[in-house]
A = this chain, B = another copy of it.
Amino acid sequence: MEQEKLLLRERILDAIKNRNASEIKEIFETIPNIDIAESLDGVDDAAVFLFIFRTVSTEYTGDFFTELTSDQQETIINAFTDKQLVELLNNSFADDIVDAIEEMPANVTSRILKACPADLRKDVNTLLNYKEYTAGSVMTTEYLGLKENLTVKDALQLIRQKGRNVETIYTIFVRDNQRNIKGIIDLDDLIFAKDDEILSEIMNRDFVTCNVNDDQEEVANIFKRYDLTALAVVNNENKIVGIITIDDVVDIIVEEANEDIALLNQISTMDEPYLKTPVFHIVLKCVPWILALMVLQIFSTWILSGFQTEIAKFAILSVFTPLLMDAGGNAGGQTTTMIVRSISLQEFSKGDFKRVMWKELRVAALVGMVVAIFTFGWLLFEMTIGIVDVGDAMQNLPIGNSEIAVKLMLAALVSCTLFVTMIVSRLVGGALPFFAKKIKIDPAVMCGPLTTTLVDIITLSAYFFLWIEVFSKALGI
């Protein structure tokens, strides 16, 4: 990969140095734009790009410009004459221009907007006004809308005329004079239809739409659910204002999954590839979480501090606290992950909270039983082979306690605590995401840390309560 990129880079730069136009053309005709753009990573010599744009027809450069880094785009725009800029923009779609503009300094932006043809500028401005992460911000305003009373022949004729300026001709939106959508036609249906059929006869009426203000995650879920390649975006009066195509949705899906992954693992959202993210940014993404989690541990630290006398008397108790806290954190995290993901994928409807809790209660009871029984055996094993040394503990016990009784007692103490821990951690881990959603906080942000904190508090309290009230008495301390 790396090797190929370097070879390609050399080939391109050589060809440009030698003014070898046919070689540059051949490269653009046979190699995807993104591979070419990536091989030129770091090149910011305007002359290189000017030669390319002058030599290669726009049919092949296509989205080459949008694949470059924003620094390179800036270099090119600054080097372009106004005429060249107009030509470049004429071959771009409004949503791509918006993406580029959002990364540019203000003076470049205003130069771009000035160079845009009037109707394109209107589209760009419209898109710039929608809130980030809404359907409006990802849609394009260049779609093909045809009147319902057209014949198939006329429709195909219109598509040949206008089709080059729209983002997709594969989904055609049939509308009335008031911009109300009446139906949708896939291009293949049009191709298979007879010339004199009327659009309203062959269009599909079982279509779905989304609102301009819908969250992009909702849009992605609509695409997945209905297996769409394009979706009409309507305003609050139900009039079509744009469309979203599946290539944009693929990006949204990856973005949203990355967000869930990052937040569930206590990092801030990762929006750039790892190697391209500066060291300082990575530190900023990670450190606040580490510090916040440490501050949240104030409660468990406080509880542990309060039981110092118990631990001083019977230090073996402290051997098991990390094990208990980790198990609780893991079980809670598992539940939170499942529920947060299901919320993201919009699997739940109203009233499902109770169903989830009832299910979690049954799961937790089973998990708790299995974990408690396993732990009982496992700890006996650890104490028998000497991983956990009960020798010191024996010395602090009243005479008359047999070593085997002490081992059984300790294993039982930890097992009973774990049973409580499993129940609490699953119920808390399952419930918190719903509350987070209710108070409109992203469930992935706070649920993990909060679950761990709550579970730690309850686990440690249960552990020392059981020790003081039941087990220490049984051992006669």
Task: Flag whether A90 is at the interface (Cβ < 8 A).
Answer: no
Partner of A187, one of B170, B254, B265, B286: B170
CA distance A311 to B251 in the complex (A): 53
Residues of A387-423 contacting chain B, CB below 8 A: 387-389, 392-393, 396
Asked if B287 and A367 make an inter-chain contact with CB atoms under 8 angstroms apart, the answer reads yes
- Report chain B residues within 8 Å CB of A371: 287, 290-291, 294
In the complex, A85 has a CB within 8 A of chain B: no
Question: Could you tell me the dominant secondary structure of chain A's interface residues?
Answer: helix
| Chain B positions within 8 Å of A290 at CB level | 327, 330-331, 334, 367, 371
**Cβ contact within 8 Å between A282 and B169:** no
* Chain A 288-308 interface mask (CB, 8 Å, partner B; 1/0): 011101110110111011101
Binds B, one of A23-31, A46-54, A75-83, A98-106: A23-31
- Chain A, 243-273, CB within 8 A of any chain B CB: 246-247, 249-251, 253-254, 257-258, 260-262, 264-267, 270, 273
- Residue pair A323, B301 in contact (C-beta under 8 Å): yes
- Is A122 in the interface zone, CB < 8 Å from B? no
Known contacts A32-B208, A250-B253, A282-B363, A265 near B264 by CB under 8 Å? yes
Say yes or no: A302-B388 contact (C-beta < 8 A), given A229-B246, A367-B283.
yes
Output the nearest chain B residue to A258 by Cβ-Cβ distance. B341
**Given that A253-B250, A321-B322 are contacting pairs, would A270 and B338 also be in contact in the complex, using a CB cutoff of 8 Å?**
yes
Are B322 and A315 in contact, CB atoms less than 8 angstroms apart?
no
A1 & B350 in contact (Cβ 8 Å cutoff): yes
Contact B301 A388 (CB under 8 A): yes
Partner of A330, one of B191, B289, B319: B289
A349 interface residue, CB < 8 Å from B? yes
Q: Chain B contacts of A378 at CB under 8 A?
A: 294-295
Task: Tell me the nearest residue of chain B to A426, going by C-beta.
Answer: B286
The verdict on A345 contacting chain B, using a C-beta distance below 8 Å, is yes
- Interface range on chain A (Cβ under 8 Å from partner): 35 or more
A28-B206, A261-B257, A375-B294 as given contacts; A339 in contact with B274, CB under 8 Å? yes
Q: Say which residue of B34, B246, B262 sits within 8 Å of A337 (CB atoms).
A: B262
Contacting pair A279 B327 (CB below 8 A): no
Q: Which segment, of A11-19, A111-119, A210-218, A351-359, faces chain B? A: A351-359
- Is A225 an interface residue when CB atoms closer than 8 A count as contact? yes
Which residues of B sit under 8 angstroms from A178, Cβ to Cβ?
none
Among the 9-residue stretches A128-136, A156-164, A232-240, A469-477, the one with 4 or more Cβ atoms under 8 Å from chain B is A156-164
**A196 at interface (Cβ–Cβ under 8 A)?**
no
Are A31 and B312 touching (Cβ within 8 A)? no
Docked complex Cα distance between A326 and B266 (Å): 12
Is the beta-carbon distance between A279 and B359 smaller than 8 angstroms? yes
Q: Are A286 and B367 in contact (CB under 8 A)?
A: yes
Residue A333 lies at the interface, judged by CB distance under 8 Å to chain B: yes
Determine whether A325 belongs to the interface, using a CB cutoff of 8 Å to chain B: yes
Which residues from chain B contact A160 at a C-beta distance below 8 Å?
191-192
Residues 145-168 of A contacting B (Cβ, < 8 Å): 156, 159-160, 163-164
On chain B, the residues within 8 Å of A283 by CB distance are 363, 366-367, 370
CB atoms of B352 and A306 under 8 A apart: no
Q: How far apart sit A454 and B170, CA to CA, in the bound complex (Å)?
A: 54
Please, how many angstroms separate the alpha-carbon atoms of A1 and B312 in the complex? 58
Other A-B pairs beyond A1-B349, A169-B188, A275-B352, 10, CB < 8 Å:
A170-B187, A227-B247, A250-B250, A265-B333, A266-B334, A283-B366, A287-B367, A294-B326, A308-B318, A308-B319
Which 8 residue pairs spanning A and B have beta carbons closest together?
A: A257-B257, A318-B318, A312-B315, A265-B337, A274-B342, A311-B315, A1-B349, A308-B315
A-B contact list, 21 entries, CB within 8 Å: A29-B205, A30-B206, A63-B227, A169-B191, A170-B188, A187-B191, A229-B229, A246-B246, A265-B337, A266-B334, A267-B338, A274-B341, A274-B359, A275-B352, A283-B370, A287-B367, A298-B382, A305-B388, A306-B389, A308-B389, A312-B315
